[in-house]
Amino acid sequence: MRFVLVGPPSRRQRLRANLPDSIDVVGEAPTMSAARALGVDPDAYLVAAAVTPEDGAEVLVEALTPRETQVLELVADGRGNKAIAVRLGVSDETVKFHLGSVFGKLGASNRTDAVRQALRRGLVPL
């Protein structure tokens, strides 16, 4: 699989050192915006989240956009991609794009993990 590493340089270095050999890193960037601007077509983005020195809590490298937050809230409500697309007036592929971005920013591996992390971080209401 082809990945782009996203996050502060020291965290990307630490993440790279712990990756299995099956991971092909095709680029690195400090933010998701910079990662998208690289012009590569990765399978996913791996976000090396920053850590606050006071409490060690994870923080987002890049904040969710308002649309990404909308999509995440609808996922948390249990809606599928097609229902989300109809509700927001966008295509199913656009919903998939937003979810991929959300997964990358939260470091989530799937929908359930994204909702769990969003709830833990207070990004979506219960």
Residue 32 confidence (pLDDT): 72
Residue 108 confidence (pLDDT): 87
Question: How many other C-beta atoms lie within 10 A of the C-beta of residue 20?
Answer: 6
Write out the chain's pLDDT in tens, 126 residues: 788 888 788 888 888 887 778 788 999 988 777 888 898 888 777 777 655 444 444 555 577 888 999 999 999 999 999 999 999 999 999 999 999 999 988 888 899 999 998 888 778 876
For the CA atoms of 118, 122, 123, 126, the dihedral, rounded to the nearest 10 degrees, stands at 80
Residue 100 confidence (pLDDT): 92
Residue 53 confidence (pLDDT): 45
Pairwise CA distance, residues 25 & 40, whole Å: 11
Under DSSP, is residue 65 helix (H, G, I), strand (E, B) or coil? coil
Residue 123 confidence (pLDDT): 80
